[in-house]
Structures are given as structure tokens and as C-alpha cells.
Structure 1
Amino acid sequence: MAPVPASPTDKDTDPTIGALVIDASRDISTLISKEIQLAKSELKVSVRHGGVGIGLFAGAAFLGLLAIIMLSVAIAYFIAMTGLDLAWCFLIVFGAYVLVAAILAFIGIKQVKQVKAPERAISQGKEIPAALKGRG
């Protein structure tokens, strides 16, 4: 059976290239806006969970600080059981904390002094303009 020839009215209903481009650009625009809406809704959920997490960490840090204070008082009273005056016991606990803080600060300073600039990345970054100009 021979194929049916297209009638002149069928050719009039085919979309033009301009119409196809307009439809495609509209569809892409809609797709991008929907993707942005999806990203916003996902970020809202993430930000909410992150905020709750930060609040819980802050609460835990505060309770940890209170626990350290109570432990310090308990240690001072434990030392006082040896017969030493309570004021000296609190001073001993204070001195121990100052010593630990000094050691941590000393170690921290040594670590910070070891920080260096990313020299290889900087030198490669300086070569990029010449490479782009074709002189690389």
C-alpha cells in the first residue's frame, strides 16, 4: 500500500522553528524556576534542622560548663578532706586549670605557626593568565 500524501492543511499545523524555540525557552524557564523552588524548600528544612542542632549543642556546652564547675568544687572539697584549708583547696584547683590552659595555649600556638600559604596553588594560579594567552 502506498503512503498517503500529506495534505496542504497538515503542513499548516506543523510548528515553525521560532515557535519551537519559544516553547523550549518557556519550558526551560519553568524547569529552572521549579528547581529553584525545590532547592528553597529543601534549604528551609536543612536550616531548621541545623538551627535546632546548634541550639542543642549550645545547651550541651552550657551543661558541660556547669558540670566542670561542680567537678571543680567537688575536687576542692575532696582535697579539703586532707585537712588543708578550703581556700587553699580552691586555689589548688584554680592553679591546675591555669596550668592546663597554658599547656593548651602553647600547643595551639605551635600548631598555628605551622600554617603555611598554599605555595603550589599560588604559583599555578599565576601561570593561568599566560596559559590563556597561549604562552604557557
Structure 2
Amino acid sequence: MSTAREPTARDPFAPSAAATSATASAPAAGVPTTGAHRAESASLGDLVGEVTRDLSTLVRQEVALAKAEAAQSAKRAGKGAGMFGGAGVAGHMVLLFLSLALWSALGTVLGGGWSALIVAAVWGIVAAVLALRGRKELQEMQGLPQTAESVKKIPDALRPHPDAAPGAVREERTS
């Protein structure tokens, strides 16, 4: 006669069949699992799911990087465009004051016209400085260099390792 209880369907304290089979194959709590152990115990569906999640994460991170770089480039382009806008306004003022200066010079023969020419010269200098700074800002814009570099690496990551046999699942090597 044995002293161990036989679990019955009515025994609320007996572990279920699913619980005993799940705990038999799972490592003890706190015991780290290696990639090799995961590869041995995981099904092909689990591995494909893990690869799919990793690729999904990679794509999301690349999109986030592209957005950040695009925002930075757009900000720089906006700054350069603003400088060109300022140069346009300043150029308009140059034409306005040059026209007023010519009108005043012809009207009074060397009277108040010189003051209008001085103001026009100042606006001309402002227009030149703004145009040069705007051109410099636009020339320094490089597009999306980090995203382009990362996207170039993706096809290499998807190629199988040259030493791997076709269809074989590689085990992670631990040193």
C-alpha cells in the first residue's frame, strides 16, 4: 500500500496535466536560458515568430530614425528658406530706397538724395549677408545619412551565413 495520494478528477489540489507537462520542460525559475536551449526547446513557429517580431522592431526603429532625420533636415531647410525670404524683403527695400534716392537726387540735385543712397546701401549689405547665410545653410544640409547607412545594411542582415547548410537552423555559440 502506497502513502502517496492518487489525484482524482474531484481533487481540487491535484495539479492539472497541462501544468505538469509545462513545468517539466521549463527551466527552473532564475536559471538563465541560452540561445541554444531556446533553439532546442522552441518550435519552428516560435522561432519564425521571434524573427518576425525582431524584423518588425527593426523596421519601426528605422522609420523612427528616418522621421527624426527628416525633421532635422526640414528644420534646417526652413531656416535657409527664411534667410532667402529675408533677403527677398531686403532686396525689395533696396529697390524701393534706390528708386526714392534717384527720385530725390533728380528733384533737388544733390540735396536729400544722399541720405536715401546711404539707407539703400545699408539694405544692400543686409540683403547680401542674408543671402550668403541662407545659401550656406542649404549647402550644409545632407539629407538622411544615418537612415541611408542603416538601410544599406539590411540586405546583408537577411542573407544566410556562408557556413550554414541550406535549411539548417544555426545554434548560438557561447564562449
Confirm or deny a common fold (TM above 0.5). no
Higher fraction of helix: 1
Interval of TM-score (by shorter of Structure 1 and Structure 2): 0.3 to 0.5
TM-score (norm 1): 0.45
RCO higher in structure (CA 8 A, sep ≥6)? 2
